[in-house]
Structure 1
Amino acid sequence: MRTVYEGVDDLRALMPDLSDREIATTDFGTYSAEAFYGDMARVTDYRADPELVDVLVGRSHETLAWMAGKGVRFAPAYGRQAFKVDGRFRFWGGLTVEVVGGGAGLVEREHKLAAEAGIAIRYNSRAVELLTDDSGVHGVTAVVDGVTTEIRAGAVVLATGGFQADAEWRTRYLGPGWDLAKVRGTRFNTGEGHRMALTAGASPAGHWSGCHAVGWDRNAPEYGDLAVGDGFQKHSYPFGIMVNAEGRRFVDEGADFRNYTYAKYGRRILEQPHQMAWQVFDQQVTHLLRDEYRIKQATRVEAATLEELARRLDGWTPRGSWRRSQRSTRRCVRTSRSTRR
């Protein structure tokens, strides 16, 4: 959860369980509003909506503090954003805070808070149309347990995700080949919210031909797996190289911190032959790889030489040559065609 903070006191307001020992052994640094604004401008080529960015940055800390006050627990993102340097953990990239339990922990806590507040959650219910007239929106038409039902409301918030689970919409808006991408999340995010809003006369906005797309294990299921979660992602590429099916590099793996490149490299992978790539690491960096490389579902190949590794890489049809090396054990973990969040 990216948030502005000027020092440890700001972080302690979000993480009251932060111990004196953790503070003594960690360099949390700072993440100023200016740095947040700068990151938003840089990674979006200055195309982000300035009013929305102002809300995102200016209210980031107070929003997390409000969530913490509701019982959402935060912790330092040691496993994702910190490395030990000279005996102290050092955070990098301005991303310091995560929810305890990750996304699943956040959802579980939000469901508990909703129940405590008397908010009813209706399952097996699919909204299909907004109830509108000349004076505005007054609810939804939904199919609840197979029965079409009108649900009246004073206001409707469409928090329905994107259209990533609809292959036709992916291809229509993101471009050729996107029907081949794997979906990181639920199979139910098919753009129904977008359709309802546009039908009701909403004005489309945003970057319709772009998306959050990451490297994903090629042998992962077509949709998200609740048991594995985000373990199919492969984000340690800055410690190695990525090569396509022809054995050629196609990105600068160290162009920036992983925070700022991982969500766009999925598109680059999808553009490669066979919509796949291999990540290659040597034994000197395997201890730095994220935990997702160690799950049993990860696709991996190990070899003592590059020549032997090349023979073992499924789907690799080299047209060039790799520099010879006999000294290090090489590990390769394959990424997916791409994944759309």
Structure 2
Amino acid sequence: MKKTDVDVVVLGTGNAALCAAIAAKEQGASVCMLERAPKSKRGGNSYFTDGAIRCAYGRFQDLRAVLPDLDEEQIQQISMPDYGEEAFMADLLRLTDGQTDQKLANQLVSRSFDTIQWMMKQGVQFTVNENQYYEKDGKRQFWGGLPLKTKNKGVGLVQALFQRAEALGIDIKYDAKTTALKQEDQLKKLIVEIAGEPVEITANAVIFACGGFEANANMRKTHLGNEWEKAVVRGTAFNTGEGLTLALKAGAVRYGQWDGCHAHTTDYHAPKTGDFNKPGDIYKKSSYPLGLIVNVKGERFVDEGADFRNYTYAKYGKETLKQPEQKAFQLFDAQVSPNLRKEYHLPEATCYKADSVEELAEKMDVCPESLANTIRAYNQAVQPGPYNPAIKDGKCTKGVCPPKSNWALTFEKAPFYAFPVTCGITFTFGGIHVSPESEILGDDKRPIAGLFAAGEMVGGLFYHNYPGGSGLMAGAVFGRLAGEQAATFCNRTKPLSSKS
């Protein structure tokens, strides 16, 4: 069996793993990354993300430091609310029903903008999130605390981080399946199959950053419920929970909401797992606050206007999964269709178009009478008032259940559009217990020497729901922390790279 020594081993090659590897290397450690997928499918779930990343930027003036491409004319056209640490924390607490681990949340929030600046130094480029504003009175009015995204979405993010990792000389091994981890005399011995050949790697520290169990149908069924067995996997097919299993065998403990996950409505005919030939989160459907959502019986089942989509899509994906046939339809009329996001206009989008509600129902294979009754009851409940999709305008319904709390326009102007959707799972909320410094904690709540975790493997941040873009930010924050702490640990224990 081949043998090799290294200071830090990082499991995974997504955003969290790459940030961890780069941070450890910057601190002087030798680093080896192990990726179960082939090189052509590297990057984990990060490859598929839309790139929106949430941070406590404070004022727009501060955010401009990471948006160097904005010219003065563009700046004058932007109206952007402040979004500081208090606002970020308030969103986390509100959407998780106050269950987020306060210590972990504090790290995420307080280090978010500094980590954005650090990522920029690593070569990641940022741009304004074009899906986060509406044009009004000649201004781009931003909303929802998510005005920033990585240039060229998740593809651009991981490409930049891989370029930096390779420039630093970080060793990346693909087709690498870690089958065992032994801890001997403060050293970690990993047994890894690399392209089918067994290799023993000895390291001072190991960073687990290889995702949750969202791509494992049996684990989804066990922990999330039977209805999740056939859910569409919106990202990589390689996040099957093996890293979690390996960490638990090494002494880690479960933490967080193991029966919870980030889910999103996605095109009903989307691939069953992420298509590496079509990245960029092109199948999701996020403009539903502008319209209505009905199931195959033609009935509404959620308050489409409860909040901005950033704060409801993770929850409403799950609600869609509970519907008959795990199917629903997002409905829009000609009043709002010009404001639909870009993914609605892609050739991959499934769309039915009609000049009457009854004709639309027939194309949807929904009872025309049932859908017409739903639309009629909704229209009669719409209250007067100014409509503004850039703010929570309070334009609502009364006397219909469920209500629509904001952005309630009558559904009456042809042509009408229906987009069939189902639930797509993005990542699981349950993980392992880590300290605010990314150290893996044992059942005595003490750090297990030399073991760290980041990304989806960190449990305790998200419960029931989550603020859009905070998962990508958490991956970067705790990835960077894990890398720095792992390198510090190596320096205390004499790095293997310095041994003869």
Q: Please classify the TM superposition score into its range, dividing by the shorter chain length.
A: over 0.9
Match of 1:273 among 324, 328, 332: 324
Query: Who is 2:165 aligned against?
Result: 114
Q: Which amino acid aligns with 2:103?
A: E
Deviations 1:148-198 (A, max 9, x none): 211111111111111111100001000121001010011111101001011
User: 1:327 deviation in Å?
Assistant: 4.5
Match of 1:195 in 2: 245
Checking the alignment, whether the CA contact within 8 Å between 2:180 and 2:190 is kept in structure 1 is: yes
- Helix, strand or coil at the partner of 1:231: coil
Contact 1:216/1:336 (CA < 8 Å) preserved in 2? yes
Partner of 1:329: 415
Distance change >3 Å, CA 326–CA 16, structure 1 → 2:
closer
1:92 corresponds, among 121, 143, 153, to 143
1:15 aligned to 2:101?
no
Deviation at 1:326, TM superposition (A): 6.8
**How far, CA to CA, are the matches of 1:90 and 1:72 in structure 2?**
25
Q: CA RMSD in A?
A: 1.6
Partner of 2:153: 102
- Does the 8 Å contact 2:214/2:425 carry over to 1? no
Q: Residues 140 and 152 of structure 1 are in contact (CA less than 8 Å); yes or no, is this contact kept in structure 2?
A: yes
Partner in structure 1 of residue 36 of structure 2: none
User: 1:215 aligns to what SS in structure 2?
Assistant: strand
Q: Are positions 1:338 and 2:424 aligned together?
A: yes
Match of 1:39 in 2: 91
Provide, for residues 232-254 of structure 1, a one-character-per-residue CA deviation record: whole Å limited to 9, x for no partner: 00000001111011111111011
Paired residue for 1:147? 197
| Structure 2 counterpart of 1:145, one-letter code | A
Identity %: 42
Q: Retained in 1: the 8 A contact 2:234–2:424?
A: no
Structure 1 gaps, min length 5: none
The match for 1:66 is 118
Give the equivalent residue in structure 2 for 1:184: 234
Which residue identity does 1:225 align to in structure 2? Answer: D
Matched residue of 1:216: which SS? strand
Q: In the aligned structure 2, how far is the partner of 1:16 from the partner of 1:338?
A: 35
Q: CA deviation at 1:317?
A: 5.2
Residue 331 of structure 1 aligns to which amino acid in structure 2? Y
**Following TM superposition, by how much is the alpha carbon of 1:3 offset from its aligned partner in structure 2, in angstroms?**
1.2
Choose from 291, 306, 322 the match for 1:255.
Answer: 306
Q: Name 1:215's counterpart in structure 2.
A: 265
Per the alignment, do residues 146 and 222 of structure 1 end up closer, same or farther by CA in structure 2, a change over 3 Å counting?
same
Q: 1:338 to 1:319 in 2, by over 3 A?
A: farther
Aligned residue among 188, 204, 211 for 1:138: 188
The whole-number CA distance in structure 2 between the counterparts of 1:100 and 1:337 is: 27
Distance of aligned partners of 1:326 and 1:13 in 2 relative to their CA distance in 1, 3 Å threshold:
closer
SS at match of 2:206: coil
Which sections of structure 2, spanning at least 5 residues, go unmatched? 1-52, 377-410, 428-500
TM normalised by structure 2 equals 0.66
Q: How does 1:285-304 map to 2 (within 5 A)?
A: 285-304=336-355
- The answer to whether the Cα contact below 8 Å between 1:305 and 1:327 also exists between their aligned partners in 2 is no
Q: Distance in 2 between matches of 1:322 and 1:254?
A: 17
How far did 1:18 drift? 2.2
Structure 2 equivalent of residue 305 of structure 1 = 356
Q: CA deviation at 1:16?
A: 2.2
Q: 1:44 to 1:107 in 2, by over 3 A?
A: same
Q: Which residue of 1 aligns with 2:220?
A: 170
Check conservation: 2:362, 2:368, Cα contact below 8 A. Answer: no
Q: Deviations over 1:280-316 (max 9, x none)?
A: 00011111101111111111100100011111104x3
* Structure 1 position 21, deviation (Å): 1.3
When the two structures are aligned, how many residues end up with a matched partner?
338
Specify the alignment match of 2:175 in structure 1. Answer: 124
Q: Structure 1: how far apart are the matches of 2:213 and 2:164?
A: 28
Partner of 2:417, secondary structure, is strand
Alignment-mate amino acid for residue 296 of structure 2: A
* Aligned equivalents of 2:209, 2:323: Cα separation in 1: 33
- Residues 1:326 and 1:260: Cα distance change in structure 2 (over 3 Å): closer
Post-superposition shift, 1:90? 1.0
Q: Which has the higher contact order (CA 8 A, sep 6+)?
A: 2
Change (3 A) 1:29 1:307: same
User: What is the CA-CA distance between 1:264 and the residue it aligns to?
Assistant: 1.5
Q: TM-score, normalised by structure 1?
A: 0.95
CA contact (8 A) 2:264 2:316 kept: yes
Do the aligned partners of 2:135 and 2:141 also contact (CA within 8 Å) in 1?
yes
**One-letter amino acid of the counterpart of residue 198, structure 1:** L
In structure 1, the residue matched to 2:56 is 4
Distance in 1, matches of 2:240 and 2:311, equals: 27
Q: 2: CA distance between counterparts of 1:304 and 1:191?
A: 47
Q: 1:137 to 1:174 in 2, by over 3 A?
A: farther
